[in-house]
Amino acid sequence: MDNRFWSARVLALEPYEPGEQPRMENLVKLNTNENPYGPSPRVLAAIRDAAGDNLRLYPPPDADPLKAVLASYHNLDTAQVFVGNGSDEVLAHVFQAFFAGRRQVLFPDITYSFYPVYCGLYDVGHRRVPLNGDFSIRVEDYQQPNDGIILPNPNAPTGCALPLTGIERLVVNNPDALVVVDEAYVDFGAESAAGLVDQYDNLLVVQTLSKSRSLAGLRVGFALGHRGLIEGLERVKNSFNSYPLDQLAIAGAVASFADEAYFRQTRDAIIASREVLARELAARGFEVLPSAANFIFVRHPDYPGADLARLLRERKIIVRHFAKPRIENFLRITVGTTEQNQRLLTALDVILPG
Ligand SMILES: *Cc1c(COP(=O)(O)O)cnc(C)c1O
C-alpha cells in the first residue's frame, strides 16, 4: 500500500472498526444495536416533505429548529444544546474541544472502543480504569488526578448502568475536570444526567437518535451542557464543517420528538423483549450481565465467544464479538424483534448440546 504521503499522525492511527453491514437475505442482524423497528411514520413523512426544491439551499448552519425542540424536550435553553452528524461526530468534537493534548483522560478499561481511537486522532493521553469483577463501574476509582472523564451510561458493550447518584458523585468529586456521559442507550432503562447540566458546569451529556429513536441511518446526535461547553463545541464545529446536519436530517429529527407515543411504544417493546431474551439465554446456561440497554452481553461457560459467533454466523445470525482481554468470551447481542430473538434461541438450541 502506498502510504508515503500519510502524515505521522495518520500512520499511527488505529481506526475504529464498525460492525459490519452485510447485505444478505434472511439475515438476523443483531450486531450493531440498531432498532429492530422502523422510525415513526411521522418521521418518514417529514423527510419526504423536506425532500424538495429547498435542497438547493444550505441547511440552517446551527440546525436551529432541532435545537429548539431538544432544548424544550430537556427543559434547557438552546444555548445549552449542541447538535452533530451522529453522536460519534459530537464525541469527536468533544475530544478535540476539551481533551486534545491533555495527559490523563480517564475511561473504563472496557468501554466504547471509539474513545481510544479519538485519543489517537487528537493526541490525548489517557488511562483506562478497570471495571469491577462484575463489570460494574466503581465511582471511587475515578478519584485520582485526571484531565477529564468520559464514560457511557449504560456502559457499552456491557449494558450495565450506573445510577444517577453515581454520575453526580463523579461530577461533584471532580469539579475541575469535565465529565462526559455518553447516553447512547439511556432511554432503554438508565437515568439520564440531562437534568443535572443546569447545576454543574463540568458535566456534558451526549445522546443520539440512532438507537432508541430508530434513526441510525439519519445520523443525528446531540450534547447538552453549560453554555461555555456548548460554545467550545461550536468553535470546533465551525472550524470543521458549518453544515453537519442536512435538511432531511433536521426535519426527520424534529418529527421524531413530535411522536412521543411511537417512541415509548417501540422502546417498551424492546425492553420487554430484552427481559425475555435474557431469561431464555440464562436458561441455556449463559451468564447474562444486567442490561439497561437494547443489547445484552453474555458468555457461556463452556463455549468460547469466537466459536459461538462463528457458529451463529453459519446460520445467518450475526452478533458482535470483541477479541479483547477480559471480554473475549462474551457476545454482545442486540435485542431484535420477537421473531429474530426466537431464531437466535432456536439456533443456539442446535449449537449447544442439551
Ligand atoms: C452507537 C453509539 C454511539 C454513536 O451513535 P451515533 O449517534 O450513531 O454516531 C455513541 N456512543 C456509544 C456508546 C454507542 O454505542
Ligand 1 touching residue 345 (CB < 6 A): no
Q: Is the CB of 156 under 6 A from ligand 1?
A: yes
Query: What mean pLDDT comes out for the span 320-332?
Result: 95
Q: How far does residue 88's CA lie from ligand 1's centre (Å)?
A: 6
Stretch 61-82: mean pLDDT: 98
pLDDT at 18: 85
Judge whether residue 57 has pLDDT over 90: yes
Q: Do 40 and 264 touch, CB atoms closer than 8 A?
A: no
Q: Which residue owns the Cα nearest ligand 1 atom 14?
A: 184
Asked if pLDDT for residue 336 goes beyond 90, the answer is: yes
Interval between CA 53 and ligand 1 midpoint (Å): 32
* Domains of the chain: residue spans and CATH: 9-38+260-351 (3.90.1150.10), 41-256 (3.40.640.10)
Nearest-atom index, ligand 1, CA of 208: 7
The pLDDT tens digits of the residues spanning 153-202 come to: 999 999 999 999 999 999 999 999 999 999 999 999 999 999 999 999 99
Report the separation in Å between the CA atom of 36 and the middle of ligand 1, taken as the mean of its atom positions.
Answer: 16
Which of ligand 1's atoms lies nearest the C-alpha of 211? 1
Q: Which of 21-35, 48-62, 230-244 has the lowest mean pLDDT?
A: 21-35
Ligand 1 in reach of 84 Cβ (< 6 A): no
Q: Which three-class secondary structure state does DSSP give residue 258?
A: coil
For 121, the grid coordinates are 486522532
Residue 182 in contact with ligand 1 by CB distance below 6 A: yes
Tell whether ligand 1 has an atom less than 6 A from the beta carbon of residue 87. yes
Q: Which grid cell is 247?
A: 435538511
Look at the block and give the residue holding cell 459530537.
90
Contact by Cβ (8 Å): 69, 254 = yes
Q: Is the CB of 86 under 6 A from ligand 1?
A: yes
Residue 65 has pLDDT above 80, yes or no: yes
Dmax over Cα atoms in the chain, in whole Å? 62
Separation of CA 269 and ligand 1 centre (Å): 21
C-beta 340 within 6 A of ligand 1: no
For 312-321, what is the mean pLDDT? 96
pTM for this prediction? 0.97
Mean pLDDT of the chain: 96
Q: Could you tell me if the CB of 94 is within 6 A of ligand 1?
A: no
Q: How far is the CA of 2 from the centre of ligand 1 (A)?
A: 32
**Rounded Cα distance, 82 and 63, in Å:** 9
Calculate how far, in angstroms, residue 216's C-alpha sits from the geometric centre of ligand 1: 9
How far does the centroid of ligand 1 lie from the alpha carbon of residue 321, in Å?
A: 17
Output the pLDDT for position 21: 85
Give the mean pLDDT of 276-291: 98
- Per-residue pLDDT at 22: 84
Grid coordinates standing for 227? 453554555
How far is Cα 20 from Cα 117, in angstroms, rounded to an integer?
Answer: 18
Q: pLDDT tens-digit profile of 81-106?
A: 999 999 999 999 999 999 999 999 99
CA distances in angstroms from 240 to 90, 243, 352, listed in the order given? 12, 9, 51
**d(Cα 36, Cα 34) in Å, to the nearest integer?**
6
Assign 149 to helix, strand or coil: strand
Q: In the numeric block, which cell numbers belong to residue 149? A: 472523564
Predicted confidence at residue 159, as pLDDT, reads 98
> Is residue 354's pLDDT more than 70?
no
Atom from ligand 1 closest to the CA of residue 209: 7
Averaged pLDDT, 320-324: 94
pLDDT of residue 256: 98
> Is the pLDDT score of 24 beyond 90?
no
